[in-house]
Amino acid sequence: MALTDHVADGARGEADFEIVAMGAQGDGVTPEGVFIPLTLPGEAVRARRSGDRAELIAVTRPGPARVTPPCPHFGDCGGCALQHWASEPYLDWKCDQVRAALTRVRLETDVSLAFTAPPGSRRRVALHARREGKNVILGFKARRAWRVVPIRVCDIAEPGLVAALPMLRALAAPFLTSPKSAPTLHVTLTASGLDIDVTGVERPGPSADARVRLGAMSAQADIARLTLAGETLYQARQVMLGIGPANVALPPGAFLQASGGAEEAMAGIVVAAAHGARRVADLYCGVGTFAFRLAATAQVLAADSSAPAIAALKSALASAPGLRPITAQARDLDRRPVLAEELKGMDLAVFDPPRAGAAIQSAELGRSGLGRVIAVSCNPATFARDAKILTDAGFRLDWVQVVDQFLWSPHIEVVALFSRT
């Protein structure tokens, strides 16, 4: 039987397939466009098809780029989809995904790899908790399912997070207050210790007795802070994080780059590309990832929709004397963007929006008199859309640098420079 015949094997619905390419989500793709997760180009596989997708049963002829996944949870856990792929073709594919997104909007430029996060470098994780009978399980969502895969080890997380898994499993139990509760523990490893914000808990949440128990458990584990959707349940000390020259007191649930190394790499690219700028707008600034570093040489207007993040940025200014002035504003840039008129007299803007991108803000940047714009994005598709808005307004896309922050996943970060033609 030829591989491309896809003849079903009796009632099981199994068929042989040939993998010729990789899709945008890291699935192997057959010549007919059937997506099969956990497969690679050049492989022959047996899978069970359902529409334009199939589930892998066995790899009958491994491809030349297949390697042994390091994690015992690979294949069931939905966190790392590409551990079976050798490093070089995996990273080339990420760059190709950015090129393809730009090609779809008729743009071309130099795309290169700037950084890839090593194993054991993820400083924040989102862990899901469920109750199965009398047992509590804690882990990540399974591939294409709501089921939770119990996690014993994690090759991408920092060792301090992995060591805390048994304690975090015990800590999750008091939050399972009803059959509808599906707690997610957002855990960040900081210089102050573990910072944990729990979401997905049905009201009224843990009882008074459970809250007392949670406090005692947190104290015994030396947790820095435990919050429930931002409400403080326990705090032993302020949660601090060094960002460039500043020490920032993080608000509960604050957005951070997942890897400290990736943050440093992206900030280095941004600062180098901003060289010579004297007045800079940092849009979607968060707690100041780029603002504090840019303020070493430039005045900065920093804006973000999160009022707690802006308050933390302002409070941290006193910890970094010698910086140029930073003016921080809490404003929803999707509904109230920084207008072209407000950017008058500025040299450069940096914008780092969420996955949905920044179409409205990009249009204002295009109307402005800025000479340079630096885009940071976690979504090649919306980045390409925003890039098209800027180039249609008279900017040139000079280059794109790819940052592999989310190791072994299809997620891609980019930093790009635009300049006026």
3-state SS, one letter per residue, for 33-74? CCEECCCCCCCEEEEEEECCEEEEEEEEECCCCECCCCCCCE
What are residue 4's DSSP bridge partners? none
3-state SS, one letter per residue, for the chain? CCHHHCCCEHHHCEEEEECCEECCCCCEECCCCCEECCCCCCCEEEEEEECCEEEEEEEEECCCCECCCCCCCECCECCCCCCCECHHHHHHHHHHHHHHHHHHCCCCCEEEEEEECCCCCECEEEEEEEEECCEEEEEEEECCCCCEEECCCCCCECHHHHHCHHHHHHHHHHHCCCCCCCCEEEEEEECCEEEEEEECCCCCCCCHHHHHHHHHHHHHHCCCEEEECCEEEEECCCCEEEECCEEEECCCCCCCCCEHHHHHHHHHHHHHHCCCCCEEEEECCCCCCCHHHHCCCCEEEEEECCHHHHHHHHHHHHHCCCCCCEEEEECCCCCCCCCHHHHCCCCEEEECCCCCCCHHHHHHHHHCCCCEEEEEECCHHHHHHHHHHHHHCCEEEEEEEEEECCCCCCCCEEEEEEEEC
Active site residues: 378
Residues present in the chain in total: 421
Contacts of 317-324 spanning 24+ positions with Cβ under 8 A: 317/246, 319/246, 319/247, 319/248, 320/244, 320/245, 320/246, 320/247, 320/292, 320/295, 322/245, 323/245, 323/246, 323/292, 323/295, 323/296, 324/295, 324/296, 324/297, 324/298, 324/299, 324/300
